[in-house]
Amino acid sequence: MATSTAPKAVPTAAETPPSPRKPKLSKRRRREALSFYLFISPWVIGFLVFLLGPMIASVYYSLTDWDSFNPPKWVGFQNYVTALTDDPVFWKALGNTFYYAAISVPLGLVLGLWLANLLNKQVRARKLFRTLIYLPTLIPLVATAMIFRMVLAPNGPINDFLGLFGLSGPNWLLDGPWVKPALILMSAWGAGAATVLLLAAMKGIPRELYEAAEVDGASATRQFWSITLPHLTPIIFFNLIMGLINAFQIFSQVYILIPKGKNPAGYDAAQTMVPLLFDQAFSYYRMGYASAISWLLFLVILVFTVIAFRTTRRWVFYETEVK
Amino acid sequence: MTLDSARFSRRGFLGLGVAAGVITLTACGSGAGASDAPLVMTVWGGDPDRKTYQARIDLLVKKHPDLKVKLQLIPGDAYPQKVQTMIAGGTGPDIMQVAESVNTYSSKGQLLPLDDLAKQAKLDPEQRFGPAGSLYTYQDKLYAIPDRSGAVTVFYNKDMFDKKGIKAPTADWTWDDALDAFKELTVPGKVWGYSGAEWFPQWWSLAYQNGGTIIDAQGRPAVDSDEVVEALQWAGDLVFKHKVVPSKADYADMGPDIGGDQAFPNQKVATHANGFWVMSGLTKVKFGWDIAPMWRGKKQAVSAFGSGLAISRTSKQRDNAFKAIDFLTSAEAQKVIIASGQDVPADLEVQKSQAFLKPSWMKTDVDMGVFAESSAFVFRAPFIPEWNQMIDTISNGLADFWLGKERSAKKALTAVQKDLESLIKSGA
């Protein structure tokens, strides 16, 4: 994982020192460098033109009032001020996004860890189980959302199942407070992706450690907490960062599971940041405002990612570091 | 770049990004088109729509060989975004299909007022299309020529009506007559008397029948008036008090994406009010059905679904574009719309013609005259520039009402009125 250098790299290599004119490169080195630039150029050009360029353009647009048709009008920080002080929908969407991220990400990790641990056991047909658990992640999101609309129907399978215990299930996708749990439920269904990564990492833990622990008389639980889990922390960290970013940017699930036109109550209850900025940009023609929202979302994601990185030293364990 | 700067700095990289950003910014402002290029016409829909539009364009080119038209069909839900990016990118269409959001474009200066061109071509919208002719007029300027326009009609299951001995619905039914019939037709948990209360074109019809308006003559929101409140309450009571209309939960149990349009062909509801497209689901059903005009309240009023053709302000060939629109909305080209079963043509002459009343694809006897009859009392829906926000505000504000959590239409609409007032600040 490339993330390992981040915390301690601060003082030394951060700024490239103003180097004196470098000595001429040998012919072979020049050719090597040339092919490096040649081969990396598709990515660099793509990144500059389709990502960094538009990103920087959107900084400008976020400071304007722009309907995407007429020339943008400079308004300074007005869009940011409006979003933060005068738009209840913005705060509601942000709250919904936090709610979703705060539950779905840890839930996905715990579930993935649990499933990986189970699949690592010497059970019969475990290859079949591994396939089955990974399978949901291969199904296109649209199909998944359609299935979940049926599963979560008021008289659908989930509520029928709850009915067996005498519980009357809610109208998942229609009833305000239950829409976000429904989205989280759907995200949990995709835990297979994390499971596979964790399982692969589990396979990589040296057997000797367990053998030694067994000799010392450590129980299976103790082995899990003291050997398995510490070895998995880099993977857990990776999944945490990816999960956070994806959760903050949740869009398609909302868009398909609770379409605004057909289910305004559900959409209203679970509108998250990206659907909000999509509406502003492409339905209300407030491109400038939408750009401002996207930068605010960027800041939010940045803050949480930085927090996650800052804490790595305390809980992420890299085998290579303790030699 | 030269190899000496091989290890280029972060600042340099960011600088390249800025350059790319500037290119992005400037690219959004320019664009040119040659004048002998074909007219670009954007429409929404699926494959049947493409065939129908193309057939009409073929007729146009046969009549005016000097015109060239390139049809661009865009799936319905992506249409606004696609047209938006086309215009922003400087390659906007010449002719574009518009509907409720016509004045979102016109208020941003994207549509050409057509009054002068229409006068030159001697096209009188009132005469050609009836009340629909002024549908796309905003602040005394005509922005689109009506192309497709079909009123909401009442679809009813003849077999169910006959079994209960109920006479077919008519334009003279009152709200009470309708409610009595729906109660009679309902079999609790199995068949509902009616569907089609909740969507805005449906309950707005009731509001206008009751003498209310959504936006008043001064351009201010007016949804908390007694007339509108009473109409919405009646519609809501159909679902939650009388239980003659399926609730959202009932629909969700029928399957994903099931609404009245699917429930009617499945004989889950006996009556349904909606647009022409419901017929496409009825060509293969085994039961007898027909259509009737919407019933009446204090007066007759009904929503219509349709679209018009507009000319983008950036078009380099305004005269040719109008010539094309003039022909496409004439009786000759409009006949294709009904012959293919796509929709109701806006042209009144066609709506009354034999080609419309007895289309060849219609297997059963359906009273198609209902559309011409209804077009006389189509109300003028408020196509304000903030249309999309208005519809979202109304549907969000009434979400709890249609879930049965808030049973008072008065309370719900008072809240919506407040939101609409902060949205629509300028009186027209």
- Looking at chain A from residue 186 to 225, which residues have their Cβ under 8 Å from any Cβ of chain B? none
CA of B178 vs chain A CAs: smallest distance (Å): 26
pLDDT digits (tens, 9 = 90+) for A22-78: 667 788 899 999 999 999 999 999 999 999 999 999 999 999 999 988 899 999 999
CA of B143 vs chain A CAs: smallest distance (Å): 17
Residues of chain A contacting B395 with CB distance shorter than 8 Å? 260-261, 264
In this predicted structure, the answer to whether residue B3 has a pLDDT above a threshold of 50 is: no
Residue among B154, B157, B151 nearest B265 (CA)? B157
- Mean pLDDT value across chain B: 89
Domain boundaries, chain A: 87-321
B422 and chain A: CB distance < 8 Å anywhere? no
Q: Which residue of A has its CA nearest to B401?
A: A265
CA of A120 vs chain B CAs: smallest distance (Å): 38
Q: Give me the residue from B29, B253, B398 closest to A155, CB to CB.
A: B253
Dist. CA B341–CA A283, nearest whole Å: 30
CB contact (8 A) between residue B399 and residue A264 = yes
Which CATH entry fits the domain spanning A87-321: 1.10.3720.10, 3.30.70.20, 1.20.1050.10, 1.10.260.40? 1.10.3720.10
pLDDT at residue B196 in the model:
84
Residues of chain A contacting B6 with CB distance shorter than 8 Å? 25, 33, 37
pLDDT digits (tens, 9 = 90+) for B176-228: 999 999 999 999 989 999 998 889 999 999 999 999 999 998 889 999 999 99
Q: Where does the pLDDT of residue A11 fall: very low under 50, low under 70, confident under 90, or very high at 90 and above?
A: very low
Dist. CA B417–CA B222, nearest whole Å: 7
pLDDT at residue B200 in the model:
92
Determine the distance from the C-alpha atom of residue A316 to the mean position of all C-alpha atoms in its chain, rounded to a whole number: 19
Q: What are phi and psi of B302, to 5 degrees?
A: -155, 150
Residues of chain A contacting B104 with CB distance shorter than 8 Å? 285
Residue among B357, B355, B361 nearest B341 (CA)? B361
Token pair recorded at residue A22: 């470098």
CA of B417 vs chain A CAs: smallest distance (Å): 17
pLDDT digits (tens, 9 = 90+) for B407-418: 999 999 999 999
Token pair recorded at residue A102: 């705060």
CB contact (8 A) between residue B88 and residue A56 = no
- Looking at chain A from residue 98 to 137, which residues have their Cβ under 8 Å from any Cβ of chain B? none
Name the strand (E) or helix (H) holding B42: strand B39-44
Amino acid identity for residue A283 in this structure: S
Chain B interface, best mutation among A24, A34, A52, A178, by max B CB count within 10 A: A52
Q: What are phi and psi of A177, to 5 degrees?
A: -65, -15
CB contact (8 A) between residue B20 and residue A48 = yes
CB contact (8 A) between residue B108 and residue A264 = no
Determine the distance from the C-alpha atom of residue B1 to the mean position of all C-alpha atoms in its chain, rounded to a whole number: 55
In this predicted structure, the answer to whether residue A1 has a pLDDT above a threshold of 50 is: no
3-class DSSP state for residue B269? strand
B9 and chain A: CB distance < 8 Å anywhere? yes
pLDDT digits (tens, 9 = 90+) for B240-267: 999 999 998 888 888 777 889 999 999 9
Dist. CA B273–CA B150, nearest whole Å: 12
Read off the pLDDT of each residue in B157-169 and give the average, rounded to a whole number: 94
pLDDT at residue B309 in the model:
96
A279 and chain B: CB distance < 8 Å anywhere? yes
Q: Give me the residue from B3, B18, B19 closest to A25, CB to CB.
A: B3
Q: Give me the residue from A25, A49, A68 closest to B20, CB to CB.
A: A49
- Mean pLDDT value across chain A: 87
- Looking at chain A from residue 134 to 153, which residues have their Cβ under 8 Å from any Cβ of chain B? 146, 149-150, 153
CB contact (8 A) between residue B257 and residue A149 = yes
User: Over pLDDT 90: what percentage of chain B?
Assistant: 68
CA of B121 vs chain A CAs: smallest distance (Å): 29
Q: How many Cβ atoms from other residues are within 10 Å of residue A220's Cβ?
A: 10
In this predicted structure, the answer to whether residue A98 has a pLDDT above a threshold of 90 is: yes
pLDDT at residue A156 in the model:
84
pLDDT at residue B35 in the model:
54
B189 and chain A: CB distance < 8 Å anywhere? no
pLDDT digits (tens, 9 = 90+) for A99-118: 999 999 999 999 999 999 99
Q: How many Cβ atoms from other residues are within 10 Å of residue B269's Cβ?
A: 29
Q: Which residue of A has its CA nearest to B390?
A: A284
CB contact (8 A) between residue A57 and residue B253 = no
Dist. CA B237–CA B244, nearest whole Å: 9
- Looking at chain A from residue 51 to 80, which residues have their Cβ under 8 Å from any Cβ of chain B? 52-57, 59-60, 67-71
pLDDT at residue A14 in the model:
43
pLDDT at residue A17 in the model:
52
In this predicted structure, the answer to whether residue B305 has a pLDDT above a threshold of 60 is: yes
Residue where the block lists tokens 């192309």: B147
| Contact criterion met (CB below 8 Å) for A234 and A1 | yes
CB contact (8 A) between residue B84 and residue A146 = no
Residues with Cβ < 8 Å from B65, sequence gap 6 or more?
Answer: none
ipTM beyond 0.85? no
CB contact (8 A) between residue A260 and residue B392 = yes
Domains of chain B (ranges, CATH numbers)? 39-150+305-375 (3.40.190.10), 153-303+385-423 (3.40.190.10)
User: Over pLDDT 90: what percentage of chain A?
Assistant: 56
3-class DSSP state for residue B289? strand
pLDDT at residue B214 in the model:
95
DSSP, residue by residue, B365-376: ---THHHHHHHT
pLDDT digits (tens, 9 = 90+) for B4-48: 444 556 666 667 667 766 666 665 544 444 457 899 999 999 998
Q: How many Cβ atoms from other residues are within 10 Å of residue B20's Cβ?
A: 22
Determine the distance from the C-alpha atom of residue B294 to the mean position of all C-alpha atoms in its chain, rounded to a whole number: 17
Residues of chain A contacting B80 with CB distance shorter than 8 Å? 282-283
A286 and chain B: CB distance < 8 Å anywhere? no
Q: Where does the pLDDT of residue A212 fall: very low under 50, low under 70, confident under 90, or very high at 90 and above?
A: very high
The residues with which B74 forms a beta bridge, in sequence order, are: B44
B402 and chain A: CB distance < 8 Å anywhere? yes
The pTM of the full predicted model, rounded to 2 decimals, is 0.82
Residues of chain A contacting B415 with CB distance shorter than 8 Å? none
Please indicate whether residue A14 or residue B129 has the higher confidence score (pLDDT): B129
pLDDT digits (tens, 9 = 90+) for A77-88: 999 999 999 888
A264 and chain B: CB distance < 8 Å anywhere? yes
Vertex B329, ends B325 and B330: CA angle to 5°? 115
CB contact (8 A) between residue B25 and residue A55 = no
pLDDT at residue B426 in the model:
53
pLDDT digits (tens, 9 = 90+) for A169-184: 888 888 878 899 999 9
Residues of chain B contacting A53 with CB distance shorter than 8 Å? 17, 19-21, 23-24
3-class DSSP state for residue A110? helix
pLDDT at residue B227 in the model:
96
